[in-house]
Chains A and B, each alone.
Chain A
């Protein structure tokens, strides 16, 4: 099955700096990579996602890059703000059930605790 590794486990930055979180995946059938933000006691919220036919996607201060060959993808947050402080999870999923691989379920990384200091 799929295995997703996420680094770093904690990340501390000053307000206005950039933050980068990296993930690697193992299953070459994975073709969908969402990122979730989870604040303490709250639900995971989808903040950005990317499909394997795209190398990069940007939404305001957030961007995600994907390297299919190396099987890694990264989240980039620019001009960080204190309200960006949360736990961020990457995930991987496949939309194909070829070969019996189930599709649609998400395999998550271990999470990154991001702290943005004012």
Chain B
């Protein structure tokens, strides 16, 4: 079955630095991969979608890469701010066109 792995340990980054989060997947070749942000007590919020034929996608201070050979996506936040502190989850489509399969998320802490 499909499996998605994200760093389970919290990532502590100094304000202003670039935060990089990793998402690895196995047993699947997704046509696209999504990244979400989740704050405590809230549902996930969609950030970016990257397709298999796109190497890189940018949105303001966010950048996502997608390496289908390595089966890995990297999520970067440049010039990080304390407000970026949250849990970030990656997700891929499952066997059906409707199901999302999620990683467990990585908690990001930006220290002032």
Q: Do A and B bind each other?
A: no
